[in-house]
Chain A
Amino acid sequence: MSAVDRPDSKSAQPFDAAMSTQTDEVVTITPSSQTTSPDETFSNSTYIRRRRWQNFGWALLYMAPALIIFAAFTFWPFFQSIYLSFFVTDQAGQTVRFNDVQYYSRILNLDGSGRTEYLQSIWVTIEFSLMVVPLGIVVSVALAVLATAKVKIIGVFRTIFTSSVAISVASASVIWALIYNPSVKATQWLVDALHLKSQGLLLDASTALPSVAFMTIWTSLGFNFIITLSGIQAIPQDLYESSKIDGANGWNSFRFITLPLLTPTLLFLFIISTISCFQAFTQFNVLIANEGPDGSTNVMVYQLFTAFFKDTRYGFASAIAVVLFLVVLVLTLIQYRLLDRKVHYQ
């Protein structure tokens, strides 16, 4: 009987390791051949097939609520965005006339208009992620390792390290706007040290984007820390104990146990943080509220917001949205590729 039930324990799909945040991929993933053995009897396999179709109905039912929400508010509008991007629209968002790919060629500066601001916006967004993601993950790993220290009141420190997850980007932006505010003098030393011509960090083309990136690392720290810490806690303690017996020091056990077993978690974080950088909007709207000095903080989502909400150019804004999607897609695929080989399977 148990052999009949076994098909339920279907082995892992390729995406499993990539998307997982917890323990199971640490366990050896076996090649997928064992589930349906070739010498299974005919009646058994018919039974299994019937059971799988029976399951299908139930699975569909269980997935229905999520599928309906995603169909209505993710997939349909997504295709609608693509559709709108080929049209000129009116104030109410109705299509007026077919516009071919003209919006796309404008964004990529292929229409000979010489307007490079849209290409620059893509570059600004990439720069922003490069400033935020790697440093953000390094900081969260450092904090998470620190938070595994076996000292009293470690719980208090963990709460503190987690705290920024509870603070919204909007509230944080209101605070950081004052930190960067020239009349508060908190960052005056940096303005002086860098010999800036501008009054404050947010007003200078060379420092505005790094300043926003810095506060973004802070706002995302709490979430990154939670994920990293739970990843570390999922690593079996006896691995550390036996490596200690073998004479490994702290660095070695970090390098050869924590880091390899943490890679699936970090891959997950990498993807999530990069995507959230490409979605960053609030801090730009509150701290800068325009395209920034020399357009230096005009990230794609801000530009999208300008075209969509301020100018009500729904067609053009949709084209920016589609480009934004494509950049995110490409980056996600690159990250899968790059990090795939380093992910710990065995």
Chain B
Amino acid sequence: MSAGITSNEAHSSTYRAAEMARTIGLYILLIVASLVVLFPILFSLSLAVQGDTLAPQLVPDFSKLDWSVFSQAFNQEPNLGRWIINSFVVSLAVTLGQLITSSLAAYALATLDFPGKSIFFVIFLATLMIPWEATVIPNYLTIARDLHWKDSYQGLIVPFLGSGFGIFLLRQYFMTIPKDLYEAAVIDGCGRTRYLWSILIPLSRPALGTLAVYAFLNTYNQYYWPLLITDSPEWRTTQVGITAFRQTESAVFNLQMAGTLIVMVPTLLLLIIGQRQLVRGLTSGALKG
């Protein structure tokens, strides 16, 4: 119908329009998905700032938001700060412990060749198959009755210093690092332990970061064990504390939600800071170039 040039132009502008529509569609999808995923957090924030009411709305009246509720929560529950400190001490100790025990074990499984390796592999695999609940009664009796570790940091920390998940995660990562590197290092006279600390560990930062963030979050967010092993209010961790707080303030929705949000802040911040660790590419081309 028309000349070739105009049809080409029409073609490319249709293409550009389609591309544009695609991008806008993607953004809409992403935003809708985000709102759905964030709904519970937005909900709690909305209820927290509405003041003390028994009939809260989903969307607050923006002209009279009450932000004082967050400091009010600390006054209402003097132990709130202590709970946060407890959770931090326990989570940091467990994270460090898991990083050490897991990277050592994963190193042996991934890099060294030794007799009975598959047996040890199955032993570590078995820890993933034994649910924590299948061990909780004797563990409770050991810690609370025999060691008298109720209401103590060691009671909250020590049982969690090993991680089957961590071992497999790190082993998996260590195996992606070329064997040539190990062989080259050994030929150059590098000892086994030195290879782990000065080559494997630095190369495995993404995997270690993933494990660290994961271990910290998991420990901070523990509920069952601290519920069993803490009696006095000042030894509670945040999670046990916040559910107790909910019961004492059962009809005060804004305080409940404010307390919950305060308890969530440290891990949400950590997530934002540690995000890069989690999504960073999992392989680094060490032998290239």
> Pick the contact of B58 from A10, A158, A171, A186 — CB < 8 Å?
A186
Asked if B145 is at the interface of the complex by the 8 Å CB criterion, the answer is: yes
Asked if B73 is at the interface of the complex by the 8 Å CB criterion, the answer is: no
State A190–B127 Cα separation when bound (angstroms): 41
**Chain B residue nearest in CB terms to A215:** B40
Interface pair B113/A158, CB less than 8 Å apart: no
Asked if A218 is at the interface of the complex by the 8 Å CB criterion, the answer is: yes
A: number of interface residues (CB 8 Å): 107
Query: Which positions 121-171 of chain A face chain B at CB distance < 8 Å?
Result: 143, 146, 149, 151, 154-155, 157-171
Interface of B is mostly: helix
What are 30 inter-chain pairs, A to B, with CB distance below 8 A? A19-B172, A22-B172, A22-B173, A59-B112, A59-B117, A70-B164, A75-B127, A76-B138, A77-B135, A81-B134, A81-B135, A146-B29, A158-B279, A159-B272, A165-B271, A167-B264, A168-B221, A168-B238, A171-B221, A177-B246, A184-B47, A229-B279, A230-B278, A281-B223, A282-B224, A308-B136, A314-B141, A321-B131, A324-B133, A325-B131
In angstroms, how far is the closest chain B Cβ from the Cβ of A315?
A: 9
Asked if A63 is at the interface of the complex by the 8 Å CB criterion, the answer is: yes
State A301–B228 Cα separation when bound (angstroms): 14
In angstroms, how far is the closest chain A Cβ from the Cβ of B168?
A: 5
In angstroms, how far is the closest chain B Cβ from the Cβ of A186?
A: 6
Interface pair A69/B176, CB less than 8 Å apart: no
Among listed B2-10, B60-68, B252-260, interface-contacting one: B252-260
Asked if A80 is at the interface of the complex by the 8 Å CB criterion, the answer is: yes
In angstroms, how far is the closest chain B Cβ from the Cβ of A46?
A: 14
State A59–B238 Cα separation when bound (angstroms): 38
Interface pair B162/A66, CB less than 8 Å apart: yes
Interface pair B137/A21, CB less than 8 Å apart: no
In angstroms, how far is the closest chain A Cβ from the Cβ of B112?
A: 5
Asked if A191 is at the interface of the complex by the 8 Å CB criterion, the answer is: no
Interface pair A162/B26, CB less than 8 Å apart: no
Given the interface pairs A1-B187, A19-B168, A74-B127, the reply to whether A174 lies near B179 with Cβ below 8 Å is: no
Asked if A259 is at the interface of the complex by the 8 Å CB criterion, the answer is: no
Residues of B with C-beta under 8 A to A304: 133, 136
In angstroms, how far is the closest chain B Cβ from the Cβ of A311?
A: 12
State A76–B162 Cα separation when bound (angstroms): 14
Residues of A with C-beta under 8 A to B129: 275, 325, 328-329, 332
Interface pair B133/A59, CB less than 8 Å apart: no
In angstroms, how far is the closest chain B Cβ from the Cβ of A205?
A: 23
Interface pair A179/B159, CB less than 8 Å apart: no
Residues of A within 8 A of B (CB): 1-2, 5, 7-10, 13, 15, 19-24, 51-53, 55-56, 58-60, 62-63, 65-67, 69-70, 73-78, 80-81, 84, 92-93, 143, 146, 149, 151, 154-155, 157-179, 183-186, 215, 218, 221, 223, 226, 229-230, 233-234, 271-272, 275, 278-279, 281-282, 285-286, 301, 304-305, 308-309, 314, 317-318, 321-322, 324-325, 328-329, 332
Q: Give the interface size bracket for B toward A.
A: 35 or more
Given the interface pairs A169-B223, A178-B253, the reply to whether A162 lies near B278 with Cβ below 8 Å is: yes
**Chain B residue nearest in CB terms to A332:** B129
Residues of A with C-beta under 8 A to B220: 168
**Chain A residue nearest in CB terms to B169:** A21
State A15–B175 Cα separation when bound (angstroms): 14
Proximity bits, B238-262, A CB within 8 Å = 1, else 0: 1110110010000001001100100
Residues of A with C-beta under 8 A to B279: 155, 158, 226, 229-230, 233
> Pick the contact of B114 from A55, A175, A279, A329 — CB < 8 Å?
A55
